[in-house]
Structure 1
Amino acid sequence: MAASDVAVGIIFLAQTVVGALGNSSLLLHYLVLYFTGCRVRHTDLILQHLVVTNLLTLLSRGVPQTVAAFNLEISLGDFGCKLLFYLHRVGRAMSIVTMCLLSVFQAITINPNESRWAGLKVKIPKYVGFSMYLSWIMYLLINIFNLMYMTGKWNNTTMTDLKDFGYCSAVHPDLTTGSLFVALLTFPDALCVGLMLWASSSMVLILHRHKQRMQHIHKTSSLRSSPESRATQTILLLGNTTSFLR
C-alpha cells in the first residue's frame, strides 16, 4: 500500500472516529434530557436532528470510505450499496436543511422587536418540528431514485458506463434523466444555501449594529473579544461548514 493511501486512510479514520464520538456524546446528552423530562429549547430540537443526520452521514459514508482508502476489499452487494448510498444522500441533504433552518430561526429570533420580522418570532417556533419532519419525508422520497443507479462494486464489470466510488459503483443515467434528477436534488440544496447566506448576513449585520450601539459599555482595554464578535465567528464557521458539506 502506498504511503499516500495510508495517509488518506488515516485522515478519513480520524475524521470518522472524532465525528462519531462527538455526535454520539451529544445524542446521549439529549437522550438524558428527554428521559429526565427536562424542557429543551427550539434550537435544541433542531440540533437533535442535526446530530442524527451527522451520524447517519458518518456511518454511511465515512466508514466504507475509510475502508476503501486502506485498499481493503469489502463486498456490500447491490442491497448494501443501495442502502449506504441512500442513507448518505438523505443524511447529507438533511444536514444542509437542518443548518439552514437553524440559521433562519436564529436570524428571526435576534431581530429587534420593532423590525418587520417581529411577528414571526411568535409563529416560527410552532413550525420548527413540522418543518423538520416534512424535510425528512421529502428527502426520503426524493432519494429513492438513487436506488435505481447504485450497484455492487464487482457487479457488471464488463460495463463501461460505471462510476466507481471505491466500494460501490453507479450506473450513469441517460442525459435527460440525469439532468432532471440533478435539478431535482440541486434545487432544494441551492435554496437552503441561499436562505442560509441571507440569514447569516442578516445576523452579522444585526450584531454589527448592536456592537456599535454598545461600544460605550464594552471595555476597550479588555483582551477578550466582544460577545458580538464571538457570535459572528460562530456564524461564519457554520457557513463554511455548509459549504464543505456541499
Structure 2
Amino acid sequence: MDTRAIFKASGFLILTVISIPSNLFICCAFLHTRLTETKLTPADVILCHLAIANLTSAFTRSFPQMLTAFGCQNLYDDIGCKMVLYFYRVSRTLSIKLTCLLSTYQAVLVAPATSILDCLKLKIPKYLQHIIVSFYGFCFATSVHSILFCYSKLINNTVPPYTFNYEYCYLTYPDYTVVISVGLSLFFRDFAFIVMMAVMSCYILLLLYRHGKKVKNLRSSDNGTSGSRAETKASRAVVTLVILYTVFFGVDNAIWLYSLSIVRVAPLISDIRGFFAILYTSVCPVVVIATNPKVKAKLKLPRIKSLPRSMDTGSSTM
C-alpha cells in the first residue's frame, strides 16, 4: 500500500470504529430510557433520530469506503450502489435538517417570554412527530438523483467526464448542465438550513452571554438555578454541534463546488471531501455522550450494594 492508501485506510477505519458503536449506543440508550424510565424530551427525540441518520451514513459511506481502502473490490452491483448512495444522501440531508431543528428548539427553550420565538415552545413539541416525518419525506424525495446516475462499474474501465468516483461506486452525470443543476440545487438546499442553524446558534450565544452577566450579580443565591444550569449546558452542547457541522459542511462543499468547475476530480481531493463529509458522524455522538445526562448515565456501572453489617462481622469471625 502506498502512503495515500495507508492514510486513507487508517482515517476511514478510525471514523468507522468511532461512529458505528457510538451512534448505536445512543440509540439504545434513548430506547432503554423510553421503555424503562420516563418519556423522552423533544431534544432527546431529535438526538435519537440524528443518531439513526449518522449511523446510516456510517454504514453507507464510511464502512464501504474503509473496505475499499483496504483493497476490497466489487462490493455492490448496480442496484446495491444505487441503494447505498441513495440512503447515504438521504441520511446526510436528514442530519443537516435534524441539527437545524435541534438548534432551533434549543433557541426556543432558552428564549425569554418576550421573544417572538416564545410561541413555538408549545408548538414544536406538539408537532414534533409531524416535523420529523416531513423531514424524512423531503429527504427521500430530493435524493432521487443518486438512483438515476449511479453505477457499480465503468464501461471499458475508463472514467468518463463528470464522474464522481467513490471507488466502490460511480456517480456519472450525462453532461455539464445536469452536474451544475444537481450540484447547485443540493448546495442551496443544504445551505439554507446551515444559515438557519447558524442564526439560531448566534441567538443562543447572545442569550448565554446575557445570562452570564446576570449570574455574576447573583452568585450568592443558588435557589432555582439548577434548571437554568442544565439549559445552559444543553445550549452549549447544541452550539458545539452546530459549529462543528458548519466547519465540516464548509470544507465538504468548498471541495464540492470546486469539483463542479472541473471535468475530472483528483482521487486525493475526493478522499479529503469524503473524510470531511462523514466526519460529523463520528464527532456528533462523542459530543452527545459527553453532554447528555440520559446517555451519560447509561455508561455508569451499577454500584455493588454493600453487605449488611451483621453478615460482615459474621464473616470476619469465621
- How far is the alpha carbon of 1:238 from its aligned partner? 1.1
TM-score normalised to structure 1 length: 0.88
Counterpart residue number, 1:111: 111
How many angstroms apart in 2 are the aligned matches of 1:126 and 1:173? 45
SS in 1 for 2:99: helix
> Is contact 1:81–1:168 with CA below 8 Å preserved after alignment?
yes
Counterpart residue number, 1:203: 204
> Is contact 1:153–1:166 with CA below 8 Å preserved after alignment?
no
How many angstroms apart in 2 are the aligned matches of 1:91 and 1:155? 29
Counterpart residue number, 1:242: 245
Q: Provide Cα deviations, 1:110-165, integer angstroms capped at 9, x if missing partner.
A: 00112222222122222222111101111111111211111003555346223321
> Is contact 1:81–1:152 with CA below 8 Å preserved after alignment?
yes
Q: Greater Rg, structure 1 or structure 2?
A: 2
How many angstroms apart in 2 are the aligned matches of 1:51 and 1:16? 14
How many angstroms apart in 1 are the aligned matches of 2:120 and 2:237? 23
How many angstroms apart in 2 are the aligned matches of 1:120 and 1:29? 28
Decide whether aligned partners of structure 1 residues 154 and 134 sit closer, same or farther in structure 2, where only a CA change above 3 A counts.
same
Q: Which runs of 5+ in 2 are unaligned?
A: 221-228, 253-318
How many angstroms apart in 2 are the aligned matches of 1:19 and 1:218? 40
How many angstroms apart in 1 are the aligned matches of 2:36 and 2:171? 45
Q: Which runs of 5+ in 1 are unaligned?
A: 220-226
Q: How does 1:1-246 map to 2 (within 5 A)?
A: 1-36=1-36, 38-155=38-155, 157-158=157-158, 160-161=160-161, 162-218=163-219, 233-243=236-246, 244-245=248-249, 246=252
TM-score normalised to structure 2 length: 0.69
Counterpart residue number, 1:224: none
Q: Percent identity?
A: 28
Decide whether aligned partners of structure 1 residues 79 and 156 sit closer, same or farther in structure 2, where only a CA change above 3 A counts.
farther
- How far is the alpha carbon of 1:232 from its aligned partner? 6.5
What amino acid maps onto 1:128 in structure 2? Answer: L
Between the two proteins, the alignment pairs up a number of residues equal to 240
What amino acid maps onto 1:210 in structure 2? Answer: H
> Is contact 2:26–2:51 with CA below 8 Å preserved after alignment?
yes
Decide whether aligned partners of structure 1 residues 48 and 27 sit closer, same or farther in structure 2, where only a CA change above 3 A counts.
same
> Is contact 1:45–1:129 with CA below 8 Å preserved after alignment?
no
Q: CA RMSD in A?
A: 2.3
